[in-house]
Amino acid sequence: MNQKRAMLIDITQCIGCNACQDACKVENKLATGEEKRLSPTAYTALSEHDGVFVRHMCQHCEVPTCVSVCPVAAFTKTAEGPVLYDANKCIGCRYCMQACPFRVPRYEWASTKPRVQKCIFCAPRLAKGLQPACAEACPTGATKFGIRSELLEEAAGRIEAEPDKYVARIYGSDTVGGTSILYITHVPFEKLGFDTRLDKFPMPLLTNNAMSKIPNVVTVGSVLLAGIWWITNRRAEVQQFEASQKQNGHSQNEDK
Amino acid sequence: MKPYPIFRITIWKVIAILLIGAGVVSAIARFRLGLGATTHLNDLFPWGLWIGFDFLGIGLAAAGFTIVAAVNLFHAHEYEPIVRPAILTAFIGYLLVVLVLVIDLGRPENFWHPLVMWNPHSVMFEITWCVILYTTVLSLEFAPIVLEKFNMHAPIKMIHDVSLPFMIVGVLLSTLHQSSFGSLYLIVPTRLHALWYTPLLPVLFFISCIASGISMVIVETLILSRNGRVLLSPVLMANLAKMSAVALAIYLVVRIQDLLSRGAWHEMRSLSYHSLAFWAEILIGFVMPLILLMFERVRFSRRGLYVASLLVLAGFAANRMNTAITGMETWPTQTYFPSLMEILITTGIAAIGFTAFTLIARYLPIFAPTNATSTHS
């Protein structure tokens, strides 16, 4: 039953009513009031680009960068999709914020016991079999919750049905290895502030390339260093021995 | 050494006391008011001056592992007189870096979590462990200096007997985390500017820390070789300078070749905020000292060595700051300049470092090593 969940955001259908943010704030007990940007009290926010609205939120990556960079494993990726954060583990190094390819995590800078804040994909609601609060609140169906593979098919279907309307790309289908939030649009993604430079491969692979060399560095390095120590040490010994030989005169050499 | 009146007031003491005082006050404010009120860090620029200072401190402290490797592992015993100053620099450097890290952490009370909550995929996790373990190794390498002062020879003998594996581990740990500071940025290919982002970041960080480590040793030896004290002969100083030049040359070849092969050369040609920072870093901090150090006259002159080595350190600092700050900025929409409190805490901690070095050098046997700590076998 652990099928991957996702949300399909059809930018053509969004009317910018902000119902998603309102519902999110109620569900997650965040300070109310409309916010135009992500913040510690806004897990989702709408940005406007010439009358077109884009929903920002944690993308819940398939191979999340935050999970990979966190030194204390405060982030976990659940089988259903949500990427969750445990404030009790967090040391506050903020590497997740630095590394997130979508620049999502927000920090409670004003607090002396700050937490990282971001969308939790309403994991408690998902566990109860409910859909996320934002998807439930969306009056136009611009945000649709479902099984990831089914939503991918549906998105492809919508693009195929109206190829003149839609841009032929599902953002999130393979971006940084795929995400749980999928976008389709009629305006080119780069004009809506999407980072189209992001590649298909998951970011953590970049680090793994370097980290996987560590065992080699350790084994080769220790052998090399010990070897140099032995050789240079031996050279000093030989020099000392030869010097003492010279002092003892030539008699011993002649015996050979 | 002739007894020195402790309470004589000098301009340096006044400056040090003022800086440390301002740093302590700012640090108290930071813990009482939180990061938001006291720093210019924000959601889009979560790492700033303090991370840059950590890079710097660790890089300068590379003096420790390079000299320990040269003298105690490679048996270049002619450099023995500077082993202890180098170890002291490294030890102080690492302790200060840990201090800055704890101040920088949002939840400093949880600083011990990486010890029990593991994530081996994280570069930050690896660095934390390397820094903790290497600081332990440094404390073992430093311990004989303290023990000697109090004439405790039995523990010195014990440490000496196990020193070889510890020194090897120390050099390995240094290699790992010096390069890993570069690896921290491997995961931000779209954020770090193309003039600094490269898959070779860990390699470049390692090569440059060798150059800066050696230059730090040179500067330190020059500073300490005053009032008739001679630590190293001019020939040995010139040799150190030669090694630093070789590291610089290798660095430049790898760096430029990498930039060209990644097609970043048009970034170098265009005049921009980033390209100016890049050229300043490369020309002043790497090319100029390399050219200077190619002249024998410079390598054998006190002033020449001073200038060239300080340039190397400046270039190293510029490189780390450019990687941590300039390269992550998007000019002119999103920039970062540290707040006064961030600067005061940083200068205060630097002042603590200089003061600690001066005091320890005065009261502990830094300049009179006995055979007990060398690895002559």
Which tens digit of pLDDT belongs to each residue from B217-254? 899 889 888 777 788 889 999 999 999 999 999 999 99
pLDDT tens for A103-150 read 999 999 999 999 999 999 999 999 999 999 999 999 999 999 999 999
Determine the Cα–Cα distance for residues B281 and A179; give it in Å rounded to an integer.
39
Shortest alpha-carbon distance between residue B59 and chain A (Å): 19
User: Is residue B175, in this structure, part of any structural domain at all?
Assistant: yes
- Give percent of chain B above pLDDT 90: 66
Does the beta-carbon distance from B105 to A92 stay under 8 Å? yes
Percent of chain A with pLDDT over 90: 86
Question: Is residue B6 over pLDDT 60?
Answer: no
For residues B331 and B350, membership in a common domain is answered with: no
Which residue is associated with the tokens 């309403």? A122
B119 to chain A, any CB pair closer than 8 A? The answer is yes
pLDDT for B229: 77
CA dihedral A105, A111, A113, A114 (to 10 degrees): 0
**Inter-chain touch B187–A68, beta carbons under 8 Å:** yes
Instruction: Kindly report the number of other CB atoms within 10 A of residue B346's CB atom.
Output: 22
Residue A91 and residue B111: Cβ atoms within 8 Å?
yes
Closest-CA distance, B118 to chain A, in angstroms, reads: 5
Length of chain B: 377
Domain membership of residue B190 (yes or no) is: no
Looking at residue B5, its pLDDT comes to 55
What distance in Å separates the CA atoms of residue A100 and residue A85, rounded to the nearest whole number?
14
Q: Are residues B305 and B355 in the same domain?
A: no
Q: Which two tokens stand for residue B363?
A: 């009261």
SS3 A171: strand
Q: What domain range is B109 assigned to?
A: 12-184+338-377
Q: How confident is the prediction for chain A on average, in pLDDT?
A: 92
Partners of residue A84 on adjacent β-strands: A76
Same domain, B23 and B169: yes
Nearest to A211 among B35, B117, B123 (CB): B123
User: Residue A117 — left, alpha, or beta (φ > 0 → left; ψ -120 to 50 → alpha)?
Assistant: beta
Mutation test of the interface with chain B: which of A35, A61, A94, choosing the one with the most B Cβ atoms within 10 A?
A: A94
Same domain, B318 and B363: no
Q: For residue A132, give the nearest of A7, A248, A226, A229 by alpha carbon.
A: A7
Predicted pLDDT at A189: 95
Q: Give the whole-number percent of chain B exceeding pLDDT 70.
A: 95
Segment A161-178 shows an average pLDDT of: 94
Least confident window among A70-79, B100-109, B328-337: B328-337
Mark whether B344 and B330 lie in a shared domain.
no
C-alpha–C-alpha distance, residues A48 and B319, integer Å: 38
The predicted structure's pLDDT at residue A247: 81
Closest CA to B374 of B149, B84, B136, B86: B84
Q: In the Cβ-directed half-sphere of B289, how many Cα atoms lie within 13 Å?
A: 33
Q: Which residues of A touch B43 (CB under 8 A)?
A: 38-39, 97, 103, 105-107, 109
Average pLDDT over residues A71-99: 95
The answer to whether the beta carbons of residues A74 and A89 sit under 8 Å apart is yes
Residues B284 and B343 in one domain: no
> What does the mean pLDDT of chain B come to?
89
Which has more confidence, B36 or B224? B36
Residue B368 has pLDDT above 90, yes or no: no
Q: How many Å separate Cα B339 from the centre of its chain? A: 23
- For A191-226, how does the pLDDT look when each residue is reduced to its tens digit (9 = 90+)? 999 999 898 989 999 998 888 889 999 999 999 999
pLDDT at B371: 42
Total number of domains in chain B: 2
The tally of CA atoms less than 13 A away on the side-chain side of residue B283 is 7
Tell me the chain B residues in contact with residue A233 when contact means C-beta distances shorter than 8 Å.
Answer: 75, 377
Domain shared by B344 and B314, yes or no: no
**How confident is the model at residue B151, as a pLDDT?**
85
Q: What is the pLDDT of residue B196?
A: 94
- Do B29 and B112 lie in a common domain? yes
Cα B107 from chain centroid (whole Å): 25
Q: How far apart are CA B334 and CA B332, in angstroms?
A: 6
Q: A111: which chain B residues are within 8 Å (Cβ-Cβ)?
A: 34, 36
Are B46 and A90 in contact (CB < 8 Å)?
no
Question: Is B329 a domain residue?
Answer: yes
Query: Which chain B residues in 125-144 lie under 8 Å from chain A, judged by CB atoms?
Result: 125-126, 128
With vertex at residue B135, the alpha carbon angle to CA B134 and CA B141, rounded to the nearest 5 degrees, is: 90
- CA-nearest of B167, B177, B160, B204 to B122 is B177
Pull the structure tokens for residue B336. Answer: 């970062």
One domain for residues B17 and B125? yes
User: What is the arithmetic mean of pLDDT over B332-358?
Assistant: 93
ω before B332 within 30° of 0 (cis)? yes
pLDDT at B37 over 90: yes
Query: Would the CB atoms of A99 and B377 count as touching at under 8 Å?
Result: no
The predicted pLDDT at position B9 comes to 78
Which overall architecture, per CATH, does domain A5-209 show? 2-Layer Sandwich (3.30)
Please give the average per-residue pLDDT across A25-36, as a whole number: 94
Q: Are B313 and B345 in the same domain? A: no
Same domain, B296 and B371: no
pLDDT > 70 fraction of chain A, expressed in percent and rounded: 96
Give the pLDDT of residue A251: 52
DSSP states of B62-100: HHHHHHHIIIIIS--GGGGGGHHHHHHHHHHHHHHHHHH
β partners of residue A49: A52
Nearest Cα to A138, choosing from A35, A24, A31? A24
Q: What share of chain B is helix, strand, coil (3-state, %, to 5)?
A: 75, 0, 25
Whether residue B114 sits in one domain with residue B103: yes
Closest CA to A92 of B41, B271, B341: B41
Is residue B196 included in any domain, yes or no?
A: no
Tell whether B5 is covered by a domain. Answer: no
**A103, A204, A228 ranked by CB distance to B44: nearest:** A103
Q: Do B121 and A218 touch (CB under 8 A)?
A: no
List the alpha helices (DSSP H) in chain A: 19-27, 65-69, 95-99, 123-127, 133-137, 148-161, 204-211, 214-247, 251-255
- Partners of B190 on chain A (C-beta within 8 Å) are 101, 195, 197-198
